[in-house]
Chain A
C-alpha cells in the first residue's frame, strides 16, 4: 500500500513536469506542424540558468549554496524562476526569429532538421567551459525541505514511511497553475483565438488580419517559458544536475514529446493527459515489472497508440488536404 502510494506521488510529480514540457511541444506543433527538437534544450537551459542565477544570488544574500541548512527566503525561488522564464523566453524568441521564421514556407523536413541543428547548438554551447561547463553541479536548495505530510504504515521492522514533501507540492501546484493559465489563454482570450486560427489555417488567418508572425513568436516565447519553468522545477526535485550535453536531457524532452503525441498533438489538454499517462506507465512499470525496461515501456506505448489511434487520445483525426 505504502509502496503504491509512494509510486503514485512520484508519478504525479513527474507527470506534472512532462505535461509542462509537452505543452510547449504541442503548441509549436499545433501552429507550425513541426517537432521543435530544441525544446528539450530550452528545458536544460532553464535548469542551468536557474542554477547560475541561484549560485550568483545566494552568496550575495550571505548564503552558502553548498550548505543545505541555510535556505533563503521563498521569494528568492520565485525570482529565480521568473528570471529563468524570462531568459528562456528571450532565447526562444531569438531562435524562432533567426532559425525558424525564414523557413516558414519551406518543407517541414527542413524545419525539423534546423531544429535538430539548434538543439545540437544549444547543447554544445552549454557545455563550453565559460558557459555552463561539463561537470555536474548541485542546485542550491531554494525551497525548505519540509515534509508536509508523512504517514507511517505498519510497525516495527516493517514500518514504511510515506512522505509528501514541499517540493512535490510546489511542482504540482506551479505546474497546475501554469497549465490552467494556458488553458484560459488559449480558449478564453483574443490571443488564444488568434493562435487557434493560425493553427487551423495559416493563410486564412493571415487574410483575416491576424499578425501570423507575431502569434508564432508569442507561441514560441510561451512554450519556452513553460519549458524554463519545467527545468527549474526539475532541478528543485533532482538537485544533482547533469551537464548540459548529457543524453538524459534529450530523453526527458523526448518522453515529453511522446506525451504530446499520445495525448493528441496540437491538443493542449491532450498534452497534459499524455504527460500523466507517460509518467504513470513509466513509474508503475518500473516498480511492478522491472526498472530495466523503463524507456521501452514509454516507446512501446507510443507505437501501440499510434497504430491504434494515430491522432492520439484526444486528437481529432488528420484531414488529408489535396
Chain B
C-alpha cells in the first residue's frame, strides 16, 4: 500500500469486512432458560494455569446434574448447567458472572475455586439477588460480601488451626519448630500461611523460618537449604500439589527428612505420582478421604473414576456436593426465586455430602470437619478427623 489511492473494489471490501465484523459482534448468542428447564451457572478456570481446578469442579457438578436429571429433575423441570471459563482472571470472572446472572438468568451460581475470583464475582450475584455458592474458596472475605453468598467448604482460619493443632499435638509429630514455605503468588497459599502461623504461635510453637516461592517455580533448593539450616520439626507448605511434589523430591535429596504438612491444595492423585515415596510420612488436611467407607463416598468415587478414568480430587467432590446442596435448596424453596433459594441454603443442616456433613452457619460458611491424610506409598491414608 503506497498511498491513499484505494480503488473501488478495495473500498467495497473494507466496508464489507467492517459490516461483517459489526454483525458478528451485534448478533451475540441468544440465552435465557426455556420454560421447562432450570439453569444453573458455573464459572471456573477451564483454561490457563489453573485449568485443572475448574475442570475438576465442573466434572463434579456435571455428575450431580446428570444424576438429578436421570432421576426426574427438579420441580418437574430438567436442570441445565451453563459453564463459563474465566481463565483464572478476575475481570473475566466478573464478566462471566454478569452474563450468567443478568443475561442467561440462572437460578443460582456455583463458583469459583480461587477466592480472588469468587470475590470478583460475588458482588454481582449479591446485587442481583442470585445466590452464589462457592465450592472451595476458603478465604473468609468471600461470604462477607452479602447474604446471597455461601460456601460448602471450611475457611482458612479453620484449616490453618487444624494444621497447626495437628502439627503441635499429633503423636510422632509434636512439633515445636515449624518452617513455612509459601507460594507468594497464590492468594490461597498466603491466606493459609497467615492463619497457620497465627494458630501455631498461639499454641506455643515457633516459626523458625518463612520462605517463599512463585507458583510454577521448579527449583526450591535455595529455600530448602535455608529451611534445612533452621532445623524445623515440620515444614508447612500451603501450596498446590505440583509444587508440593517437587518440593518433597528436592527436600529429600537435600537430606531434609522432617515431615511436610500441607492443606487441601495438595489433594490430587498427581501428588503421589510426582513425589512417590519422597512424600511418605507427610500429612495434609483435606475435605474428604477416599478411604471413607460411607456408601455415598464410595459410590461417588466409583462413578467418577468410571467416567473420567481418574480418582476424584477434593475439588470434584466439592463441586458435586455444591451442586447437590443447591438442588436441595431449590427443591425446598419450591421456586427459582433468588432470595427464597438463599433462605433455604442458609437453613442447610447436616446435609449428607461426599465431603462430610454440611451445615451452613450464620456467616454462610459450612461447618464441617476436616480430615488429615498421611501419604503412604504414594497414596493418601486417613489419619484423623478434626472437628471445628
Q: Give B213's nearest chain A residue, CB to CB.
A: A291
Whether A3 contacts B270 in the complex (CB less than 8 A), given A135-B52, A291-B211, A295-B214, comes out as: no
Contacts of A134 on B, CB cut-off 8 Å? 47, 51-52, 55
Whether A135 contacts B212 in the complex (CB less than 8 A), given A14-B219, A242-B242, A245-B49, comes out as: no
- Could you tell me if B273 and A6 are in contact, using CB atoms closer than 8 angstroms? no
Contacts of A124 on B, CB cut-off 8 Å? 47
Beta-carbon contacts under 8 Å, A207-258 to B: 234, 237-240, 242-243, 245-248, 251
Contacts of A294 on B, CB cut-off 8 Å? 214, 217, 222
- Could you tell me if A291 and B216 are in contact, using CB atoms closer than 8 angstroms? no
Residue from A66, A136, A160, A294 with most neighbouring chain B CB atoms (10 Å): A136
- Could you tell me if A160 and B228 are in contact, using CB atoms closer than 8 angstroms? yes
Is B305 engaged at the interface, CB distance under 8 Å to the other chain? no
Is B258 engaged at the interface, CB distance under 8 Å to the other chain? no
Residue from B218, B222, B231, B378 with most neighbouring chain A CB atoms (10 Å): B222
Contacts of A158 on B, CB cut-off 8 Å? 231
Q: Give A147's nearest chain B residue, CB to CB.
A: B253
- Could you tell me if B273 and A138 are in contact, using CB atoms closer than 8 angstroms? yes
Contacts of B242 on A, CB cut-off 8 Å? 136, 240, 242
Is A163 engaged at the interface, CB distance under 8 Å to the other chain? yes
- Could you tell me if A239 and B274 are in contact, using CB atoms closer than 8 angstroms? yes
- Could you tell me if A243 and B51 are in contact, using CB atoms closer than 8 angstroms? yes
Classify chain A: how many residues form its interface, as a range: 35 or more
Is A68 engaged at the interface, CB distance under 8 Å to the other chain? yes
- Could you mark each residue 108-145 of chain B with 1 if its beta carbon is under 8 Å from any beta carbon of chain A, else 0? 00000000000000000000000000000000000000
- Could you mark each residue 278-298 of chain A with 1 if its beta carbon is under 8 Å from any beta carbon of chain B, else 0? 000001001100011011000
Is B246 engaged at the interface, CB distance under 8 Å to the other chain? yes
Is B184 engaged at the interface, CB distance under 8 Å to the other chain? yes
Q: Out of B215, B253, B273, name the residue touching A163 (CB < 8 Å).
A: B253
- Could you tell me if A248 and B47 are in contact, using CB atoms closer than 8 angstroms? no
Q: Give B270's nearest chain A residue, CB to CB.
A: A136
Contacts of A52 on B, CB cut-off 8 Å? none
Contacts of A251 on B, CB cut-off 8 Å? 216
Is A310 engaged at the interface, CB distance under 8 Å to the other chain? no
Contacts of B274 on A, CB cut-off 8 Å? 136, 138, 239-240
- Could you tell me if A239 and B254 are in contact, using CB atoms closer than 8 angstroms? no
Q: Give B247's nearest chain A residue, CB to CB.
A: A240
* Complex Cα–Cα for A294 and B225 (A): 15
* Complex Cα–Cα for A75 and B47 (A): 37
* Complex Cα–Cα for A10 and B215 (A): 19
Is A157 engaged at the interface, CB distance under 8 Å to the other chain? yes
Interface of B is mostly: helix
- Could you tell me if B221 and A6 are in contact, using CB atoms closer than 8 angstroms? yes
Q: Out of B219, B226, B277, name the residue touching A68 (CB < 8 Å).
A: B277
Is B340 engaged at the interface, CB distance under 8 Å to the other chain? no
* Complex Cα–Cα for A14 and B219 (A): 9
- Could you tell me if A247 and B216 are in contact, using CB atoms closer than 8 angstroms? yes
Q: Out of B49, B215, B253, name the residue touching A165 (CB < 8 Å).
A: B253
Contacts of B55 on A, CB cut-off 8 Å? 134
Q: Give A2's nearest chain B residue, CB to CB.
A: B225
* Complex Cα–Cα for A14 and B47 (A): 29
Is B263 engaged at the interface, CB distance under 8 Å to the other chain? no
* Complex Cα–Cα for A232 and B55 (A): 28
Contacts of B229 on A, CB cut-off 8 Å? 3, 160
* Complex Cα–Cα for A135 and B56 (A): 10
* Complex Cα–Cα for A192 and B181 (A): 48
- Could you mark each residue 55-91 of chain A with 1 if its beta carbon is under 8 Å from any beta carbon of chain B, else 0? 0000000000010100000000000000000000000
Contacts of B273 on A, CB cut-off 8 Å? 66, 137-138
- Could you mark each residue 224-238 of chain B with 1 if its beta carbon is under 8 Å from any beta carbon of chain A, else 0? 011011010000000
- Could you tell me if A157 and B226 are in contact, using CB atoms closer than 8 angstroms? no
Q: Out of A240, A246, A292, name the residue touching B49 (CB < 8 Å).
A: A246
- Could you mark each residue 26-59 of chain B with 1 if its beta carbon is under 8 Å from any beta carbon of chain A, else 0? 0000000000000000000001110110010000
Is B60 engaged at the interface, CB distance under 8 Å to the other chain? no
Beta-carbon contacts under 8 Å, B170-224 to A: 184, 211-219, 221-223
Is B249 engaged at the interface, CB distance under 8 Å to the other chain? yes
Is A176 engaged at the interface, CB distance under 8 Å to the other chain? no
* Complex Cα–Cα for A216 and B211 (A): 45
Contacts of B231 on A, CB cut-off 8 Å? 157-158
Beta-carbon contacts under 8 Å, A175-224 to B: none
Is A97 engaged at the interface, CB distance under 8 Å to the other chain? no
Contacts of B105 on A, CB cut-off 8 Å? none
- Could you mark each residue 1-13 of chain A with 1 if its beta carbon is under 8 Å from any beta carbon of chain B, else 0? 0010011001000
Is A127 engaged at the interface, CB distance under 8 Å to the other chain? yes
Is A161 engaged at the interface, CB distance under 8 Å to the other chain? yes
- Could you tell me if B255 and A238 are in contact, using CB atoms closer than 8 angstroms? no
Contacts of A247 on B, CB cut-off 8 Å? 49, 216
- Could you tell me if A163 and B249 are in contact, using CB atoms closer than 8 angstroms? no
Beta-carbon contacts under 8 Å, B46-94 to A: 47-49, 51-52, 55
* Complex Cα–Cα for A137 and B245 (A): 11
Whether A248 contacts B253 in the complex (CB less than 8 A), given A7-B221, A10-B222, A135-B52, comes out as: no
24 A-B contacts (beta carbon < 8 Å): A3-B229, A6-B221, A7-B225, A10-B221, A127-B47, A134-B51, A136-B241, A161-B254, A163-B255, A165-B253, A239-B246, A240-B249, A242-B49, A242-B218, A243-B49, A247-B216, A251-B216, A283-B219, A283-B221, A283-B222, A287-B226, A291-B213, A291-B226, A295-B214
Binding site for B on A (CB under 8 A): 3, 6-7, 10, 14, 66, 68, 124, 127, 134-138, 157-158, 160-161, 163, 165, 234, 237-240, 242-243, 245-248, 251, 283, 286-287, 291-292, 294-295
